[in-house]
């Protein structure tokens, strides 16, 4: 028995199982969405029984909030590489636009789930705290990109973080919807729109 194994507490094992359940459930939730996915449906599409899922999560809401927190915790570092690699303002915008397109192509179901959950929080009061917290981390992530862009361009941002986040998130959500609908050219349109918008987020030179 290794030291690491010996030190694992029941609480550690409980958290690990919840993470494993969340990763498994995310696939079903991304396909079915909030309204259509029950705990039984999630269990039927995973290697875990309904009883096991219900043991670790009190209800569907508890599971979904945990799933989205788990997923978005990894997402908040998605653009760190963009910030670190860019050596000019123009390169940062190109890398950022490409990364936005990449994540739509590779992770559309997860983004669809996030927007579904955010919309549901308008009606489910118990969702609001988690949604606001996650939204705040995403805003901070986008602001790091905008701030770095301003530093590389030698200019200061022209608007506050919530405004910059709202504008870029709006473009992203619109592109995601059109991508899911099979609209041609939507990903190239997103690149073009991001390149046009980013300079407007900074004060004039």
Domain ranges of the chain: 11-60, 76-205
pLDDT at 7: 65
Q: Which regions of the chain are under pLDDT 50? A: 5
User: What is the SS3 assignment for 49?
Assistant: coil
pLDDT in tens, 37-50: 788 887 887 777 88
pLDDT at 3: 52
The CATH T-level fold of domain 76-205 is: Tetracycline Repressor; domain 2 (1.10.357)
CA distance 196 to 22: 38
The CATH T-level fold of domain 11-60 is: Arc Repressor Mutant, subunit A (1.10.10)
Asked if residue 108 lies in contact with residue 174, where contact means CB atoms within 8 angstroms, the answer is no
For residue 161, the number of C-alpha atoms closer than 13 Å in the C-beta half-sphere is 13
């Amino acid at each position: 028995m290794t030291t690491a194994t010996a030190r694992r507490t029941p609480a550690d094992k409980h958290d690990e199982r919840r993470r494993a359940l969340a990763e498994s459930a995310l696939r079903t939730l991304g396909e079915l969405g909030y309204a259509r996915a029950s705990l039984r449906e999630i269990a039927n599409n995973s290697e875990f029984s309904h009883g096991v899922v219900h043991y670790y999560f009190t209800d569907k809401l508890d599971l979904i909030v945990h799933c989205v927190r788990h997923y978005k915790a990894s997402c908040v570092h998605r653009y760190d590489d963009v910030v670190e690699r860019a050596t000019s303002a123009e390169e940062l915008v190109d890398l950022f636009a490409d990364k936005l397109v990449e994540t739509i192509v590779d992770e559309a179901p997860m983004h669809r789930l996030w927007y579904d959950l955010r919309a549901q929080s308008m009606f489910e009061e118990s969702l609001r705290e988690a949604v606001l917290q996650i939204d705040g981390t995403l805003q901070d992530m986008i602001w790091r990109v905008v701030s770095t862009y301003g530093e590389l361009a030698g200019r200061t941002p022209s608007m506050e973080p919530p405004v910059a986040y709202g504008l870029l998130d709006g473009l992203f959500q619109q592109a995601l919807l059109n991508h899911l609908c099979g609209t041609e050219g939507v990903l190239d349109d997103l690149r073009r729109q991001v390149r046009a918008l980013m300079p407007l987020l900074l004060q004039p030179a």
